[in-house]
Amino acid sequence: MCLSTAYEVGNGDDKFIADRITNIEVEGNTVRLTTLLGTQTVVEGVLKSIDLNRNVILIASNP
């Protein structure tokens, strides 16, 4: 099973959000991430990219 790590990008820095992400839901300007253990994190921003080879999720923060 491949699990991903999510980062918030903006201002030239990548900020760690969560790891072992199993589910992503996008609604408007929010992204809900759910981990393997069921912990949910909601981030304001837009989904920028998902790299399934590197298991990296990038979320661009709202200005």
Indicate whether this model's pTM tops 0.85.
yes
Beta strands 4-10 and 40-51, pairing class: unpaired
Beta bridge partners of 13: 10
Residue 42, both tokens? 């909601």
Q: What is the pLDDT of residues 1-59, one digit of tens each?
A: 679 999 999 877 889 999 999 999 999 999 999 999 999 999 999 999 999 999 999 99
Cβ-defined contacts of 45-53 (< 8 Å, 24+): 45/8, 45/10, 48/9, 50/4, 50/24, 52/2, 52/4
